[in-house]
Amino acid sequence: MKKSILRLASVAALTTAAMMAQQFPMHMGGGPGAGPGNGNAGGTITTTDPATLAARQVSFLTTFLTLTSGQVTQATTIFTTAITAVRALQTQIDTAETALATAVKASATATIATQATALGTLHGQVVAANAKADAAFYLLLTADQKTKLDALGADFFGDGLSGIHVPGGGH
């Protein structure tokens, strides 16, 4: 019971820290709140620049896991690459979602099936890109860092919280 409460508290703290560190929309395709001069009342400028987003994530991970400078450099490259890949997929997802909405309004069932299948494939590619980045990052860690991260269990990798890099956000 005590372990469960500790795990839940850890996950809650990480989630809160990650969300505060990442001032960008969860949907990487832009939209409200995306980009400089977005009119946020707090004056915060959000960014969708992959390098900036990766740097924020790595900063959080550095604090949590005490990453070395070499790990920081490698992690930044890993997450920048993943964010860039997810960004390209998000553009395709946006296009497929628009086509799906059009097909729904036209009651074009064949097109609905095609676009739904395309969306499923694209979302799968996003999950794969994020999981590959997580795997590459995990390989960089020392045994002690892995133990610390593993203490969070599946709550860190594989459920969207590795969306600390949210490349996805969606991830």
Q: What is the pLDDT of residues 27-43, one digit of tens each?
A: 333 333 333 333 444 44
| Contacts for 140-148: CB closer than 8 Å, 24+ residues apart | 140/71, 140/74, 140/75, 140/78, 141/65, 141/71, 145/65, 145/66, 145/67, 148/64, 148/65
Among all chains, which residue has been given the structure tokens 């890949």? Answer: 85
pLDDT tens digits, 58-101: 998 999 899 999 999 999 999 999 999 999 999 999 999 999 99
Is the whole-model pTM more than 0.75? no
